[in-house]
Amino acid sequence: MIADLTDFRISSGPANARLARHSNVDTTSPHHTDHALMLAVRDGELDALGELFERHHGPLYGYLGKLTGDRLAAEDIVQTVFQRMLKYRHTYRDDGSFTAWMYHLARRCAADYFRKHNAAPAATDPADLQEYADARPNAGDEAGISDDHAFLHRALNRLDRDDREILLLSRFQELSFAEIAGILECSVGAAKVRAHRALRELRDVYFQLQKEKTT
Partner 1 sequence: MNCVQARDRFAELLDQRLEGPVSGDIRTHLASCPACQREFASLRDTLDRLDALPAAKPGPRLRANFYAMLEDEKRSAAAAAPVAARRRPTPGANVWRWILSPLAAGGLLALGFVAGHYSPQRTAPVTIPATSSPDQATQQELADLRKKVDSMTQLVGYSLLQQQPAGERLKGVLAAQNLTQDDDQLITKLISTLALDSSTNVRLTALEALYQHADKEVVRAGVLASLTREQNPLVQVSMIDFLVAAKDREAAPTLQEMARSDKFDRSVRDAAKRALVQI
Q: Which residues bind to partner 1, rule: CB under 8 A?
A: 1-2, 44, 46-47, 49-50, 53, 57-59, 61-62, 65-66, 71-72, 74-76, 78-79, 82-83, 86-87, 116-117, 125, 127, 148-149, 152-153, 167, 170-172, 176-177, 192-193, 195-196, 199-200, 202-203, 206-207
Rounded alpha-carbon distances, angstroms, from residue 198 to 10, 164, 179, 210: 24, 7, 18, 18
CA distance 183 to 167: 13
Nearer to partner 1, 25 or 74 (CB): 74
Nearer to partner 1, 127 or 133 (CB): 127
**CB distance 148 to 45 below 8 Å:** no
Burial 189-209 (b: 16+ CB within 10 A, else e): eebeebbeebeebbeebbeee
Least CB distance to partner 1 at residue 66 (A): 8
Nearer to partner 1, 184 or 195 (CB): 195
Amino acid at 92: Y
Least CB distance to partner 1 at residue 133 (A): 14
Nearer to partner 1, 65 or 96 (CB): 65
Least CB distance to partner 1 at residue 50 (A): 6
Least CB distance to partner 1 at residue 33 (A): 20
**CB distance 167 to 66 below 8 Å:** no
Least CB distance to partner 1 at residue 201 (A): 10
User: First and final CA of the chain: distance in angstroms?
Assistant: 51
